[in-house]
A and B are shown apart, each in its own frame.
Chain A
Amino acid sequence: MYLKGLKCRICGEEYAAEPIYYCSYCFGPLEAVYDYERIKETVTREEIEKRVQSIWRYREFLPVNTKPVDLGAGFTRFIHAENLGRELGLRNLYLLDDSTNPTYSFKDRVVSVAVTKAKEFGFKAVGCASTGNLAGSLAAHAAKARIPAYIFVPAGIEKNKIVQALVHGANVIEVEGSYDDANRLATEIAERKRDWGFVNINLRPYYVEGSKTLAYETAERLGWTTPDQVIVPVASGALLYSIYRGFRDFEQVGFVGESDVVFNAAQPANFPVARAIREGKEVEPVERIETIVHSLAIGNPSDGIFAKKVVEKSGGYAEDPTDDEVIEAVRLLARTEGIFTELAGGVTIASLKRLVEEGRIDADDLVVAYLTGNGLKTADAIAGKLQTVKIKPRIEEFEKLTNVEVLA
């Protein structure tokens, strides 16, 4: 294994690679540290290119040492979005589309790593708090790993997402209140059930590593270079921060040159990370904000300050489109590229549109936008905005409706 241990992001205290997730001196989050010299000596870009088309092609950069619990996450569609680019005024727009992952969201990347680590630690069960996507992914990976799963969701989340988790045999517990309430309960249980692995809690330093593969795939598929700008949806901020760390990993081992990727954040209207970046203030948690984008609705974003730092240091910006803009963006993407993304993807595309309109992205910039999940998961939120037409089963009726002559 190329993992050296864990390190506190705040005070720098070092720890062995154990199932711990915060610094016992300052409560700062812990992150994985690797032996880059060894990785450099072991693996080349050419070798990676010949490997399995999943996140595990980058195994040296992932914190596990056993056979992966693998449903095939990663190496999803990477598309030169010419139609959408033309519509927005961008010549080099690329989309990394995780709607085609095994359980239809980017969560398969992080969960595959975390459940593998849970097995490595010999845990008896896995768990998580989830707004939906994580629930489905964890349930599926736990089924594959033959390990019980306990999933805490806020009561009233999209039925599709619960069905996905239940069908794999997970224990799905609807918690009255918001995601933050479900998350608190899960964290309290994780603190006391030391032989259970809550993937986004006590396995968090390992779990988040899976998201770095979005950066690796981006760099590899751009011919081992980095983009000029990226747009990343933000809930807790962990995804954006992990993509940043992914590009930095590749720099460390010389797979890409010194990169100066501009990071832009996308959040639903009024959420704390985007607001802090836009107003140049600290990230202030909020108790409750209404949005249709449940998968990004985290009022207390634990990695928000790190995501904000990356955005600001890179010279990027944050957008926070309204629900209407989000739905319009989902439809725009679907119409132009044939991709039906979930609402979080709509937030990303709506933010991209704003960034271009505000002149923050140039027409020739090489831009990558991350689409994190499949539109069918959140179809209910958009169904009311779409209409069919009804006719009697007669050709004349069809002609009348469409002005197309059939009987002439």
Chain B
Amino acid sequence: MKVRLPASIYRDAEIEIDADEITVEELVKILSEKIGRDLRKLIIRNGDLSPFVNVFINGKNVRHEKGLKTIVKKGDEVSLVPAVAGG
């Protein structure tokens, strides 16, 4: 699976993660190990997905699926973006 992180969190445009089927929560853990920075504080608040970040799997917001428990599969495209809108 391919993961895109905000530029200020990780310099490279994409990170490849080799996994067949994992939850978003597990993905966050693997990503943290891979980039050497604990992303859990950024993405998880009070055990749930932080309201300040959106996680999309193939363009679908996991907030409208099962949140941190949403399954990511091999070949999926995951995008983490700060939650800003409108104004």
Contact = CB atoms under 8 A, between A and B. Distances in A.
A283 B63 CA distance: 12
Given A27-B42, A192-B13, A238 B86 contact: yes
Contacts of B8: 20, 24
Nearest to A238: B87
B87 A287 contact: no
A302 B13 contact: no
Interface string B60-87: 0101100000000000000101111111
Among B7, B8, B9, B81, max chain A CB count under 10 A is at B81
Interface string B26-60: 00000000000000011100000011111010010
Contacts of A187: 81-82, 84
A191 B7 contact: yes
B62 to A, nearest CB: 11
Interface residues of A, number: 45
A94 interface: no
A27 B28 CA distance: 15
A300 B61 contact: yes
A303 B87 CA distance: 8
A201 interface: yes
B87 A184 contact: no
Nearest to A211: B87
Contacts of A24: 8-9
Contact of B52 (A26, A134, A201, A204): A26
B84 A21 contact: yes
A49 to B, nearest CB: 29
A120 B50 CA distance: 32
Interface residues of B, number: 27
B52 to A, nearest CB: 4
A24 B59 CA distance: 23
A298 B42 contact: no
Contact of B85 (A177, A188, A283, A302): A302
A22 B56 CA distance: 18
Contacts, number: 102
B85 A183 contact: yes
B64 to A, nearest CB: 4
Interface of A: 10, 20-22, 24-29, 110, 129, 131, 134, 177, 179-181, 183-184, 187-188, 191-192, 194, 200-201, 204, 207-208, 211, 235-236, 238-239, 283, 285-287, 298, 300-303, 305
30 contacts: A10-B52, A21-B82, A22-B6, A22-B84, A24-B8, A26-B50, A28-B52, A29-B52, A129-B85, A184-B61, A188-B79, A188-B81, A191-B4, A191-B6, A192-B7, A192-B13, A200-B84, A208-B87, A236-B84, A283-B51, A285-B61, A285-B63, A285-B64, A287-B64, A300-B85, A301-B85, A301-B86, A302-B52, A302-B84, A302-B85
A298 B86 CA distance: 7
A366 B50 CA distance: 38
Contact of A298 (B13, B81, B85): B85
Nearest to A181: B59
Contacts of B52: 10, 22, 26-29, 302
A60 to B, nearest CB: 22
Contact of A22 (B13, B59, B63, B82): B82
A207 B87 contact: yes
A378 B86 CA distance: 18
Given A187-B81, A204-B84, A287 B61 contact: yes
Contacts of A208: 87
B42 A200 contact: no
A267 B63 CA distance: 21
A238 B85 CA distance: 9
Contacts of A303: 86-87
Contacts of B81: 184, 187-188, 191
Nearest to B8: A24
Contacts of B85: 129, 179-180, 183, 200, 236, 298, 300-302
B4 A236 contact: no
A188 B59 CA distance: 11
